[in-house]
């Protein structure tokens, strides 16, 4: 998955940097978490799996990129919104989706209780007929449709805490009552990427799926732990308990983390751990986190470590809270650690899986007591007013 690269300027790393997955894996190793985890081999998804979510046109275009010349690839990527392409992109995207399919299958079948898919490219912006926003294939949608096709699960809840609205996931499930999609994201009145009205709180679903799409759209940056905990307590958890999903899949972007240069929010690693444990406490079969965004390498890796520690019941402290960086925080690891590690074989990449179940007696983190901002509270309260006609449990949270 590290072979998916931006060809336009190799000396100026793209924010969706191949090193994102390496840094997470490296930090998990340093924290001795990998010793407590198992891995599942990722195999590329098939055409049939892709076509449950994406159009034939999109599938064929991605195949064509495997043999395009560099100039043609650069020209082709300009047709899309915030996408880069190379000859390895199609394979890496299939492998990324395949890793999540394998992990979700293991959790849904009860062979594992929880897990994190450390995969790229991300997927929650990818639409049925086009790539978008650093995303090529919609990893989460492909995994859910595969589980449903195999009749392994019936109901799934997707919680998207990436700082951007997952317009691609919403598109796939917008009229589907078997999947609840709940996104907490910056919207800024439609001015924040993907810069549409699709992420507004009034987008509740259509037909049988009305009420099964829940958007919690922040009106500005700077949202912190208290805002996210308040959203969880008053919307996410009550809906999860009422809906009773077989599994919960998290679109786990870490670009709302403190110091992320794109998200510009202030979520601590401790808060990511808190949200992970809260979701794990309401799962029927298990919880799966799937990497989406996150563009400060320190913040992303520390936040991912915090989530894994929560899944492993190792306590809340995640390590070092990242300091502000002038760019994407490429300074924590030495040059030889970043660039000198051999690239993995392109035909194999692991998805790391956590085993033990969360212990509800674990100490309550400080962030759980954090108060929301006035703006954050107002947004969540408005969402409750809109959604309570579909979810009686929300009336009881007022």
Select from 82, 167, 76, 163 the least CA-distant residue to 124.
167
Q: How far lies 22's CA from each of 189, 245, 292, 337, 339, in Å? A: 35, 32, 14, 10, 10
- Active-site residue identified among 14, 54, 58, 125: 125
Which ranges constitute the DSSP H helices of 19-166?
A: 19-30, 47-51, 56-64, 70-77, 89-108, 139-149
Residue 215 near residue 395 (C-beta atoms within 8 A): no
Residue 144 near residue 181 (C-beta atoms within 8 A): no
Q: How far lies 67's CA from each of 6, 283, 343, in Å? A: 16, 44, 22
Residue 235 near residue 398 (C-beta atoms within 8 A): no
| Residue at token pair 């449903």 | 148
d(CA 115, CA 310): 11
Is 125 catalytic? The answer is: yes
Which ranges constitute the DSSP H helices of 178-314?
A: 225-231, 237-243, 269-280, 297-311
Contacts of 199 (CB under 8 A, 6+ apart): 165, 167, 170, 183, 185, 187, 190, 215, 217
The residues annotated as belonging to the active site are 125
């Amino acid at each position: 998955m590290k072979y998916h690269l931006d060809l336009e300027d190799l000396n100026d790393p793209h924010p969706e940097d191949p090193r994102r997955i390496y840094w997470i894996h490296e930090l998990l190793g340093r924290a001795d978490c990998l010793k407590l985890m198992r891995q599942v081999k990722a195999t590329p998804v098939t055409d049939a799996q892709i076509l449950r979510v994406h159009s034939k046109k999109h599938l064929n275009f991605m195949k064509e990129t495997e043999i395009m010349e560099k100039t043609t690839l650069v020209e082709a990527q300009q047709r899309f919104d915030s996408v880069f392409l190379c000859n390895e992109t199609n394979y890496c995207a299939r492998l990324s989706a395949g890793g999540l399919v394998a992990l979700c299958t293991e959790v849904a079948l009860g062979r594992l209780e929880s897990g994190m898919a450390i995969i790229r490219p991300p997927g929650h912006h990818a639409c049925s007929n086009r790539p978008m926003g650093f995303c090529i294939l919609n990893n989460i949608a492909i995994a859910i449709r595969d589980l449903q096709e195999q009749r392994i699960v019936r109901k799934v809840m997707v919680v998207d805490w990436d700082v951007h609205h997952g317009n691609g996931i919403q598109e796939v499930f917008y009229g589907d009552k078997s999947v609840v999609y709940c996104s907490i994201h910056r919207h800024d009145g439609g001015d924040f990427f993907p810069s549409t009205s699709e992420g507004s709180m009034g987008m509740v679903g259509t037909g049988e799926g009305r009420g099964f799409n829940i958007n919690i759209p922040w009106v500005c940056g700077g949202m912190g732990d208290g805002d996210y905990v308040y959203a969880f307590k008053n919307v996410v958890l009550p809906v999860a308990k009422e809906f009773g999903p077989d599994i919960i899949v998290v679109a786990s972007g870490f670009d709302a983390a403190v110091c992320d240069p794109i998200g510009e929010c202030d979520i601590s690693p401790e808060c990511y751990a808190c949200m992970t444990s809260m979701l794990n406490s309401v799962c029927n079969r298990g919880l799966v986190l799937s990497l989406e965004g996150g563009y400060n390498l320190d913040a992303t890796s520390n936040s991912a470590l915090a989530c894994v520690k929560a899944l492993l019941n190792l306590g809340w402290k995640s390590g070092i809270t990242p300091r502000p960086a002038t760019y994407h925080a490429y300074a924590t690891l030495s040059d030889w650690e970043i660039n000198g590690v051999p690239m993995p074989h392109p035909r194999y990449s692991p998805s790391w899986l956590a085993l033990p179940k969360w212990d509800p007696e674990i100490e309550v983190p400080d962030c759980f007591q954090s108060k929301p901002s006035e703006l954050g509270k107002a947004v969540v309260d408005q969402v409750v007013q809109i959604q309570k006609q579909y979810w009686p449990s929300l009336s009881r949270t007022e």
